[in-house]
Structure formats: structure tokens, C-alpha cells
Amino acid sequence: MKYACRVVTILFVVVLVIPAAAFAQSRSFQPQATNVLGTGKARTLITFTRVFTQAAGELSLARTQEHYVNLEPNWIKIGLAALFEPEPVVAYISITWADQVLRVTCFLDRTRSDLLRGHFLITMRATEGTIGAIPVGTVIGLSEGRAFFDGGVPVIEADVTWTPGIFPHVLPTSFNMAHQLVPELWLTGGAGRVIARHTFTSAQPLDGSLPIVYAVQEGIPIQ
């Protein structure tokens, strides 16, 4: 009788442990995003910084989808840059984890962009100052974006695919990715709010299940 009770207890513990493990796996990917516009005024050219962070033990990033409402490109500055350069610089990124430091420069690929239709492709490459296992010149990711108006409100969207194998599958330490756009490439729209929504997709979990999708949204007042 005691043996039977012990078996039942063990089975009960196993039943509890399995969902707990699954729950832990489902919460192993929760990137956060913070956006700093540098101004709270409408129709103003801006400096723009955004930071993505992750905790140790999370799955790495595979894809980032960006959706900004009430921000728009400064087409005059972007067009002039593209007129004289095949790959004008549009942003810089610093990525750190463990003892790795990636200094990334983001280039607008003029030949694969259609600025007149609001479509753009950005190549992100490791550049000087990178420390660790990733060689300078490595493509860290590609960003396909578009800018348009929705109900009279400007919208910018980008779909970023991070190169597989660049980031460790499971992060051994905290992870920080800081984006700095070249000043005055974007400007705020009308008074109200800027909505910044980021949808992150993880690398495939180690148990073979589908990648995890996690979204965060931030509202920034504009006067």
C-alpha cells in the first residue's frame, strides 16, 4: 500500500513538473524595447535611439518586425545621400553579450531600394571596433522596410532578419542591442502619440517546437 502511494505521488509530481517545464520554455524569450526620440514636438527632425535587451538564458533573436506610427523618413536628406553614394550610412548598432562586442554599420542599398515608392533595403555589417568571434565585414542582418500613410498618418515598417549563427542559440549573459540612427533621417508626424511596436521572433527552441513570438509596444507623447 505504501509503495502504491509512493508511485502515485511520484506520478503526481511528474505531471506537475512537465507543465512547469513547458511554461518555463514558453517564457524563455521576452525581449524588451525602449525608444528615445530626442524631441516631443510634432513635425520636427529628430535624433533617434532604440535599445533592445534580453536576459541570460533567453533564446536569441531570429527576426524583428518594427512598426512605427506617426514617424516618417526625411526623404530629402535620404534622397540626397542616395544620389551621391551607392550605400549611404543610415544607422549604427552596438551589440554586446558575454565578451562579444559587435559594432555594426547599417547601409541603405540604393540598387535594391525603391525610394519613390517608399521601399528600402538596409544591409547591416560588422565594422571596425568589433571584438570577438565575428569577422569584420560579416552581414549581421538585412532589413526590408517601407514607409506609407494609413488614414493620413505616416507609418514606417521594417522586417529584420538576423543572420543565423551570429548570436548564441541561448544567451549565456544579458544581451544589449543599441541602435543610433543618423541624426535627422526621421521626423515626427502630427501632435498626438508615436506608437512603436516591436514583434520579436526567437530562434527555434531546443525541444524542436515552433519559434516563440513576443511583442512589446510603447507610446510616446507628441505635442
Tens digit of pLDDT for each residue in 183-221?
A: 999 999 999 999 999 999 999 998 899 999 999 999 999
Q: Strand 100-108's sheet: what is its strand order?
A: 32-36, 49-54, 175-181, 89-97, 100-108, 119-126, 139-150, 153-162, 61-69, 192-202, 213-222
Q: What is the pLDDT of residues 107-145, one digit of tens each?
A: 999 999 999 999 999 999 999 999 999 999 999 999 999
Residue 27: pLDDT band (50, 70, 90) is low
Looking at residue 16, what is its pLDDT? 29
Q: What is the average pLDDT value for the chain, to the nearest integer?
A: 89
User: Is the same domain home to 15 and 77?
Assistant: no
Q: Are residues 125 and 16 in the same domain?
A: no
Pair (104, 180) in one structural domain = yes
Read off the pLDDT of residues 159-176 as tens digits, 9 standing for 90 and up.
999 999 999 999 999 999
Are 91 and 182 in contact by the 8 Å Cβ rule? The answer is: yes
Q: Is the pLDDT of residue 12 over 70?
A: no
User: Does 107 share its domain with 41?
Assistant: yes
| One domain, residues 137 and 44 | yes
Using a cut of 0.75, tell me whether the model's pTM lies above it.
Answer: yes
The answer to whether residues 2 and 43 belong to one domain is: no
Instruction: Tell me what pLDDT residue 22 has.
Output: 37
**Residues in CB range of 59: below 8 A, 6 or more apart:** 28, 29, 169, 170, 171, 202, 203, 205, 211, 212
Q: Are 23 and 87 members of one domain?
A: no
The structural domain count of the chain equals: 2
Domain limits for position 23: 1-29
Within this chain, do residues 105 and 148 fall inside the same structural domain, yes or no?
A: yes
Q: Which three cell numbers stand for residue 93?
A: 548598432
pLDDT at 206: 86
Model confidence at 3, pLDDT cuts 50, 70, 90, reads very low
Q: Is the pLDDT reported for residue 20 higher than 70?
A: no
Shared-domain flag, residues 76 and 10: no
pLDDT tens digits, residue range 48-63? 999 999 999 999 999 9
